[in-house]
Amino acid sequence: MTGGEARPGVVGLVLAAGSGRRMGGPKALARTPSGELLLDRAVRTVRAGGCAQVVVALGAGADEARAQAQTLAQPGTTVVDVPDYGTGMAASLRSGLGAAEGLDPDAVLITLVDLPDVIPDVVTRVIGEGPHDDVLRRAVYDGRPGHPVLLGRMHVTPFVEGLSGDEGGRRSLAGAGCEGVPCADLATGQDVDTPEELGRAR
């Protein structure tokens, strides 16, 4: 697994609270063809890409995820529960960003649990060079905005205030002039929604 050196000021946030209806169960508990939990892969990717501290937002299947995941008990990993995860991604973002802010970061790197082909090099590229407190950028795949997203601490509060339902922060990022970081040479950035899609993941 490649990646970059740890950036102490950048906290990773893995959103893994969804119920995964099309997957047949929470995506945090789904496994890749090699048997790795999607949750473990996401945490390892963010950490290897440069985030020394990682916050994981759990909702559906939270108890099972705590029991099965190998990465949640590691030093530098904070787990936050999202009791209202059923209302949409905004709830996970609010809970996760609140926990991440408590770690006093320069920036928060947000990613999703269901992006198995996003590798540490994508994380490293999106983090880029500092300073990070006023940065606002995200991965772009062949012109399509995707994850991870990097929020400098100056942007966290406006981002949270603009959250609504299952849309996440898409409009807030577009309105704030988020910088796109081309990453199609490293990954597709496609999420997996069904067992069939996960079975084809590399």
Q: Indicate the burial class of 21 (C-beta count within 10 angstroms; 0-12, 13-18, 19 or more).
A: exposed
d(CA 157, CA 100): 12
Give me the tens of pLDDT residue by residue for the chain, a chain 202 residues long: 667 777 779 999 999 999 888 898 999 999 999 999 999 999 999 999 999 999 999 999 999 999 999 999 999 999 999 999 988 889 999 999 999 999 999 999 999 999 999 999 999 999 998 888 999 999 999 999 999 999 999 999 989 988 876 666 777 787 678 999 999 999 999 999 898 988 887 6
d(CA 83, CA 86): 8
Token look-up 């209202």 returns 84
**Which tokens hold the place of 19?**
């119920």
Please report the beta strands in 44-135, taking only residues with DSSP state E, as ranges in sequence order. 51-58, 77-81, 107-112
- 8 touches 50 (CB < 8 A): no
Of the candidates 59, 45, 197, 61, the residue with the CA atom closest to the CA atom of residue 110: 45
